[in-house]
Structure 1
Amino acid sequence: MDYLVNLSTLPQDKKSPDAMAKAGVTIRRALPPELKLIIRWIDEHFGEAWAGEATVAMTRQPPTCFIATREGKLVGFSCHEATAPDFFGPTGVDESLRGLGIGRALLFASLNDLKTMGYGYAIIGDVGPSAFYEKAVNAIPIPDSTPGIYAGMLKS
């Protein structure tokens, strides 16, 4: 199911900046020279479908992919405007670092970028952890959105 986020009422992310500083994590827009490294990491951790979507986000100008780094290493990513305009995702965090607020910080980075691009709402496609999005950004389910834009997608 897809979810909708009202970007005009997006809450301020007061927790993430402090949490990221304490965890030694930097959130920033990805740079084109990092494309292969980022795509390889996403493919290894989350699979080729997400790597494909991230490739599109990385090739936009500016890239619509944000990354989380810790001690010079990639530990998470978020993309938007990859499979469809105004769509958030995919996003993922290294399994060993989940629970530190990295996913939340990446979510806010992407949603704030969509807001800056002029969108009033964002769509989170094919939501996995719905409770996370409902709590973090007041996302609501979009009725009749299944199977959505991923219907009929080729599988490996």
Structure 2
Amino acid sequence: MADMLVSLLKLPEVEDDVERLRAEGIIIRRARALERSVVRRYMLDRWSETWADEADMAFSFQPPSIFLATHEKKIIGFGCYECTCRNFFGPTGVNEEYRGRGIGRVLLVQCLMAMREMGYAYAIIGGVGPVEFYSRTVGAVLIPDSTPGIYTDMLER
């Protein structure tokens, strides 16, 4: 999977989406350090060990470089940044039953805004799955010859 490049200079507004989701009982917020084990269990149960490892890395920063989407005090989605490499967004995911509500869009933009606040003007979305989503949502463009990117010589699990 290729990497994508996104400008952090002109990110879309998501405040209306945040409020709409809040009205539905869905909260988007930064994870707290004391939630590390809950997030790890969620990642292992719902996603993968690799993504759980990357999310663990998010908790090594203060504040943690992971945003959560929650509903009724349960995690329903997440977005990470600066976990695998500096200036990289990802991994990210939304539980299947909650997709199509704009949760992934808000998580993406919140993470990219946090990266902009760190001083980055551009970010890399690593090992992209949904190219069209990133292109449409934040104007990301494919980086030529970026496959396999940083994901080479991986240890077997």
Q: TM-score, normalised by structure 2?
A: 0.95
- Contact residue 19 and residue 100 of structure 1 kept, 8 A: no
- Contact residue 58 and residue 82 of structure 2 kept, 8 A: yes
Residues of 2 paired with 1:26 and 1:18: CA distance?
A: 9
Q: CA deviation at 1:21?
A: 2.4
Tell me how large the CA RMSD over aligned residues is: 1.2
- Contact residue 23 and residue 100 of structure 1 kept, 8 A: no
Q: CA deviation at 1:100?
A: 1.0
Q: Residues 18-66 of structure 1, C-alpha deviation per residue, up to 9 Å, x if partnerless?
A: 4312431111110011000001101111110000000001221110011
Structure 1 unaligned regions, length at least 5: none
State the match for 2:148 in structure 1. 147
Residues of 2 paired with 1:109 and 1:39: CA distance?
A: 21
Spell out structure 1 runs of 4+ moving beyond 3 A: none
Structure 2 unaligned regions, length at least 5: none
Residues of 1 paired with 2:24 and 2:112: CA distance?
A: 22
State the match for 1:133 in structure 2. 134
Corresponding residue SS for 1:75: strand
Within 5 Å, which residues of 2 pair with 1:107-122?
107-122=108-123
State the match for 2:100 in structure 1. 99
Q: CA deviation at 1:15?
A: 5.1
Residues of 1 paired with 2:37 and 2:130: CA distance?
A: 28
State the match for 2:44 in structure 1. 43
Corresponding residue SS for 1:16: helix
Q: TM-score, normalised by structure 1?
A: 0.95
Report which stretch shifted further, 4-13 or 73-82. Answer: 4-13
Q: Residues 106-138 of structure 1, C-alpha deviation per residue, up to 9 Å, x if partnerless?
A: 101100000001000010000000100000000
Could you say which structure has the higher helix fraction? 1
How many pairs were matched up? 156
Tell me which amino acid in the other structure corresponds to 1:110: C
Corresponding residue SS for 2:101: coil
Corresponding residue SS for 1:90: strand
Residues of 1 paired with 2:58 and 2:67: CA distance?
A: 9
Residues of 1 paired with 2:16 and 2:148: CA distance?
A: 33
Residues of 1 paired with 2:31 and 2:14: CA distance?
A: 20
